[in-house]
């Protein structure tokens, strides 16, 4: 048994013994409820100007998790945390039962005071253990654990790391901002099936499951696209879905087998309309979650999402970053020669358009930090997009790149069924 596992086992055994002693003393360590009169965040807002060493007659009851516990010569100091806010507790006499441990959920009643250093505190008059923790707490100094540990034990990470909890809050606010932005523009949110006989709408390997009642295998969706298009055909001109999709492929910091995708469809519009929509939805989501258009990306850099965003063709961006001019309509030999000069290989099945995309993905995309709308995608790699009205080798498609990662992909839908079939057959 490893040293860490031994410590956890010892902690659990000691805690179980303490709880048994509490039960023998007639104290339930897991009561059903506690009547709080306020929250820690409300207290901090209400008494923000309380001077140092102040005493009040304000009696409050609140709850939270014990994150720090100190015994200073018989005076107990406890740091209580709830909802991201912290409060100091002062207890002049030891509890009548076993004192709380780090990780426990407790309820306290007492008077609002301020310490000599001005720290808002509650002088405890009554204390109740609400839920005893049987798991050894993490580092009391809040030092971060490994990424693997945080991913495997998400609940522990949320208890110990307020920044992780903040991410969940910001995500919820961003999603709410997206919904508000789309609904304000007349879009209707819908839910489409997760299971289908075939997986379509994207190129990815699906998860396969068994429907016992039907006696057949079904696939979990890799995109909601085809169902949403059927709604548009049926007369629902503006629809969107925020939902989970599942792709049975590799995992990395940028890819997860299941993730939340937003898909939006608008009839009688083209990719220029979608550019405007994407920009405004992203900005409004940022403002809803951060109150600002400035965001910090994983590399630590600050990026401003404020409009307008740069627009540039894929070919121009490749030339800008590599000095090589590659275009979808150029001779295949010239495109392959350009790849060779950059030390990049190619597949024999690739045309000039696919060569262009390969260079963009390998040499350009990761370097686009500020919001960039990339246009001029080749027909060869965009089978569902409409031909560009000024260059038949390209499509009316764009991607939004922020922080070196694809944030959005959209295009004018190819609505010619004959051409669509020809592209799939070629």
For every residue of 331-369, which 3-state class applies, written as one string?
CHHHHHHHHHHCCCCCCCCCCHHHHHHHHHHHHHHHHCC
Rounded Cα distance between 221 and 325, Å, is: 38
From the CA atom positions of the chain, what is the Rg in Å?
29
pLDDT block averages, 10 residues each, the chain of length 426: 66 88 89 95 95 95 93 85 93 69 93 94 93 78 68 80 88 97 98 91 88 94 94 97 93 83 97 98 98 93 96 98 97 96 95 97 97 97 92 96 96 90 80
- pLDDT score at 1: 45
Q: Which residue, among 283, 183, 284, has the nearest Cα to 239 in the 3D structure?
A: 183
Among residues 80, 110, 137, which one ends one of the domains? 137
- pLDDT score at 96: 57
- pLDDT score at 156: 79
CATH of the domain at 367: 3.30.930.10
Q: Which residue, among 37, 182, 56, has the nearest Cα to 112 in the 3D structure?
A: 56
- pLDDT score at 295: 96
- pLDDT score at 93: 67
- pLDDT score at 98: 65
Are the CB atoms for 360 and 335 separated by under 8 Å?
Answer: no
Show the domain range for 40.
1-137
CATH of the domain at 8: 2.40.50.140
**Residue 327, CA distances (Å) to 316, 344, 373 in order:** 9, 16, 18
Q: Which residue, among 357, 371, 350, has the nearest Cα to 318 in the 3D structure?
A: 357
**Structure-token pair, residue 363:** 């040499």
Are the CB atoms for 80 and 102 separated by under 8 Å?
Answer: no
C-beta pairs of 155-161 under 8 Å, 24+ apart in sequence: 159/65, 159/103
**Structure-token pair, residue 192:** 């489409």
Check the CA dihedral 306-308-310-312 and report its sign. positive
Are the CB atoms for 104 and 133 separated by under 8 Å?
Answer: yes
Q: Which residues contact 36 (CB under 8 A, 6 or more apart)?
A: 61, 62, 63, 107
**Residue 272, CA distances (Å) to 159, 239, 264, 313, 350 in order:** 45, 18, 14, 14, 29
Among residues 119, 137, 155, which one ends one of the domains? 137
Helix or strand run (H / E) with residue 35: none
Residue 16's CB: how many other CB atoms inside 10 A? 12
Q: Is residue 250 part of a domain?
A: no
Q: Structurally, how many domains does the chain consist of?
A: 2
Rounded Cα distance between 15 and 191, Å, is: 47
**Structure-token pair, residue 388:** 């560009």
Q: Is the peptide bond prior to 308 cis by the omega test (within 30 degrees of 0)?
A: yes
Helix or strand run (H / E) with residue 317: helix 314-322
- Placement of tokens 């009316």 in the chain: 396
Q: Is residue 386 part of a domain?
A: yes
Rounded Cα distance between 114 and 47, Å, is: 9
Q: Which residue, among 131, 92, 82, 137, has the nearest Cα to 113 in the 3D structure?
A: 92
Q: Is residue 89 part of a domain?
A: yes
Phi, then psi, of 198 in degrees rounded to 5: -135, 150
Measured N-to-C along each axis, helices 314-322 and 352-359 cross at an angle, to the nearest 10 degrees, of: 50
Rounded Cα distance between 25 and 13, Å, is: 19
**Structure-token pair, residue 186:** 């007349």
Q: Is residue 332 part of a domain?
A: yes
Q: Is residue 417 part of a domain?
A: yes
Among residues 137, 156, 179, which one ends one of the domains? 137
Q: Is residue 227 part of a domain?
A: no
Provide the whole-model pTM: 0.86
Q: Is residue 390 part of a domain?
A: yes
Q: Is residue 355 part of a domain?
A: yes
- pLDDT score at 328: 96
**Residue 34, CA distances (Å) to 42, 62, 264, 337 in order:** 17, 9, 45, 74
Are the CB atoms for 79 and 87 separated by under 8 Å?
Answer: yes
């Amino acid at each position: 048994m490893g040293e860490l596992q031994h410590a956890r086992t010892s902690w659990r055994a000691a805690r179980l013994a303490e709880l048994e002693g509490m039960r023998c003393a007639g104290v339930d360590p897991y009561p059903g409820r506690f009547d709080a009169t306020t929250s820690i965040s409300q207290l901090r807002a209400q008494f923000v100007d309380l001077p140092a060493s102040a005493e009040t007659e304000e009696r409050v009851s609140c709850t939270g998790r014990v994150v720090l516990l100190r015994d200073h010569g018989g005076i107990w100091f406890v740091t209580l945390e709830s909802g991201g806010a912290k409060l100091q507790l002062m207890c002049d006499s030891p509890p009548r039962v076993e004192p709380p441990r780090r990780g426990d959920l407790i309820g306290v009643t007492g008077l609002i005071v301020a310490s000599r250093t001005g720290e808002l505190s509650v002088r405890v008059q009554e204390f109740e253990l609400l839920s005893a923790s049987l798991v050894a707490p993490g580092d009391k100094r809040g030092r971060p654990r490994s990424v693997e540990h945080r991913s495997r034990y998400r609940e522990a990470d949320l208890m110990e790391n307020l920044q992780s909890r903040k991410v969940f809050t910001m995500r919820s606010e961003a999603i709410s901002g997206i919904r508000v932005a789309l609904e304000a523009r007349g879009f209707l949110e819908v839910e489409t099936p997760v299971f289908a006989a075939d997986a379509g709408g994207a190129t990815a390997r699906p998860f396969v499951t068994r429907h016992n009642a039907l006696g057949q295998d079904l696939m979990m969706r890799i995109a909601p696209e085809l169902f949403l298009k059927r709604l548009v055909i049926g007369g629902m001109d503006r629809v969107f879905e925020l939902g989970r999709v599942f792709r049975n492929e590799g995992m990395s910091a940028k890819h997860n087998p299941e993730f939340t995708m937003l898909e939006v469809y608008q009839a009688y519009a083209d990719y220029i309309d979608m550019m405007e929509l994407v920009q405004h939805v992203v900005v409004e989501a940022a403002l809803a979650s951060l109150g600002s258009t400035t965001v910090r990306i994983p590399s630590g850099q600050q990026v401003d999402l404020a409009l307008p965003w740069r627009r540039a063709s894929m070919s121009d961006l490749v030339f800008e970053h590599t000095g090589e001019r590659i275009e979808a309509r150029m001779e295949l030999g010239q495109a392959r020669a350009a790849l060779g000069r950059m030390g990049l290989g190619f597949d024999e099945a690739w045309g000039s358009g696919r060569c262009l995309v390969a260079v963009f993905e390998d040499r350009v995309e990761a370097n686009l930090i500020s919001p960039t709308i990339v246009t001029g995608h080749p027909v060869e790699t965009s089978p569902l997009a409409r031909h560009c009205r000024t260059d038949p080798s390209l499509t009316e498609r764009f991607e939004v790149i922020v922080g070196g990662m694809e944030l959005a992909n959209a295009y004018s839908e190819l609505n010619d069924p004959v051409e669509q079939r020809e592209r799939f057959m070629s």
